[in-house]
Amino acid sequence: PDLRLAPDHLHRGEGTFLSVVHCQQPSCSLTFTARCTNMNPSVPNRPCFLASKSESIIHILSHRRYMNTVEELKREAGKTACSFVRDGMKIGLGTGSTIKYTVIEIGRMISEEGLEVIGVPTSEATKELAESLGIPLSTIEKASPLDITIDGADEFDPDFQLIKGGGGALTREKRVAAKSEAMVVVADDRKQVTTLGAFDLPLEVGKNDWQRVSAELQEFCPGQVNLRGGNSPYVTDNDGYILDCQFGSTITDPASLENQIKSIEGVVEVGLFIDMCDAVVMASPSGVSTLLKQGGRLD
Ligand code: 5RP
């Protein structure tokens, strides 16, 4: 059911509300006290949030709706993340099939609601999409620091550490996220893991370095190290190659692993995003949840 704020919400400073939320479906008696950090009262119909605190994560159920296909999950996660978007923001626009829906929604908010934002794309593909939707764009050099980056992920763990780079854009994605005051990930629930590594860890490497880097990695990577694209290698927007490393679900200390890999000459970037993500907007078949990292920059 669609959940709406009761009219008697209590303003607790800019953009933050303490509200009573109830479900308006006749058969449903759900009532929650909610802290709505992302509601912009000047823009109607933004999603409202239900909050409950667990040990390290604030779990917010933004709406419950039964979804069947992965594409539907991606669309709902991508659109819901726009509740973090406000007028005047400079926004890092990630890459991938989930964030695509965020970009499309931002385009809609610009044309239909008069939203004014500047986007910084993390790939040529996102740049093209954003341009086609009339989103004003800038570069990281000109626009930094950014207010927020919204991006996809291939895996996230309970500490909000990420594997990224499935789409090959990890280097620019990391640069943009590093220059942002907060990072929100959009994902479906297949991306949530207890230990990182089931998804092959992508690295960007110099074109002339991949064989040597690969041999060095093989000394401590428990599985194979594969050149993406094989005989017709995938070439990144930075004119590099991608190595996909089969660590399996063994990455219990992603920060150390990142340092170890980065010390190999020829590695341009590692697809481990450590202490960068502040929230995950996650869609599952039963609804969309926003997981806020406790003590993170959006908490
Ligand atoms: C691109 C990425 C993507 O954000 C990641 O692969 C997730 O993509 P998708 O939403 O298509 O699953 O890191 O480099």
Q: Is 239 left (phi over 0), alpha (psi -120 to 50) or beta?
A: left
The whole-angstrom separation of Cα 267 and Cα 202 is: 11
Q: Residue 140: phi, psi to the nearest 5?
A: -65, -35
Burial class (CB in 10 A: 0-12, 13-18, 19+), 44: exposed
Mean of all residue pLDDT scores within the chain: 86
* Cβ of residue 167 lying under 6 Å from some atom of ligand 1: yes
Residues 247-290: tens digit of each pLDDT: 999 999 999 999 999 999 999 999 999 999 999 999 998 889 99
Angle at 158 (CA atoms; ends 52, 195), nearest 5 degrees: 155
The verdict on whether 173 is a catalytic residue reads yes
Calculate how far, in angstroms, residue 169's C-alpha sits from the geometric centre of ligand 1.
8
pLDDT band at 39 (very low <50, low <70, confident <90, very high): very low
The answer to whether 21 touches 8, Cβ cutoff 8 Å, is no
Calculate how far, in angstroms, residue 72's C-alpha sits from the geometric centre of ligand 1.
16
Indicate the pairing of strand 162-163 with strand 90-93: unpaired
The answer to whether 58 touches 299, Cβ cutoff 8 Å, is yes
Quote the pTM value: 0.83
Calculate how far, in angstroms, residue 164's C-alpha sits from the geometric centre of ligand 1.
6
* Cβ of residue 153 lying under 6 Å from some atom of ligand 1: yes
Section 117-127 average pLDDT: 98
pLDDT band at 71 (very low <50, low <70, confident <90, very high): very high
The answer to whether 237 touches 172, Cβ cutoff 8 Å, is yes
Q: What's the pLDDT score for residue 67?
A: 72
Minimum CA distance residue for ligand 1 atom 5 = 153
* Cβ of residue 125 lying under 6 Å from some atom of ligand 1: no
Return the closest-CA partner of residue 187 out of 209, 212, 166, 210: 166
The answer to whether 256 touches 236, Cβ cutoff 8 Å, is no
Q: Helical H runs in the chain?
A: 70-80, 99-113, 124-132, 140-143, 170-178, 210-218, 254-262
The whole-angstrom separation of Cα 275 and Cα 264 is: 22
Residue type, 32: F
The whole-angstrom separation of Cα 246 and Cα 249 is: 9
Pocket test residue of 97, 149, 190 for ligand 1, highest count of atoms within 8 A of CB: 97
Minimum CA distance residue for ligand 1 atom 6 = 166
DSSP letter at 144? Answer: P
pLDDT band at 47 (very low <50, low <70, confident <90, very high): very low
Calculate how far, in angstroms, residue 201's C-alpha sits from the geometric centre of ligand 1.
12
Residues 144-199: tens digit of each pLDDT: 999 999 999 999 999 999 999 999 999 999 999 999 999 999 999 999 999 999 99
Pocket test residue of 69, 70, 72, 98 for ligand 1, highest count of atoms within 8 A of CB: 98
pLDDT band at 5 (very low <50, low <70, confident <90, very high): very low
Q: Please tell me the least confidently modeled range out of 6-10, 28-32, 199-203.
A: 6-10
Residue holding tokens 């340092």?
A: 259
Residue type, 159: D
Residue 145, preceding peptide bond in cis (omega within 30° of 0): yes
Does the pLDDT of residue 49 top 80, yes or no?
Answer: no
Does the pLDDT of residue 237 top 60, yes or no?
Answer: yes
Residue type, 153: A
Residues 211-233: tens digit of each pLDDT: 999 999 999 999 999 999 999 99
Does the pLDDT of residue 10 top 70, yes or no?
Answer: no
Q: What's the pLDDT score for residue 164?
A: 98
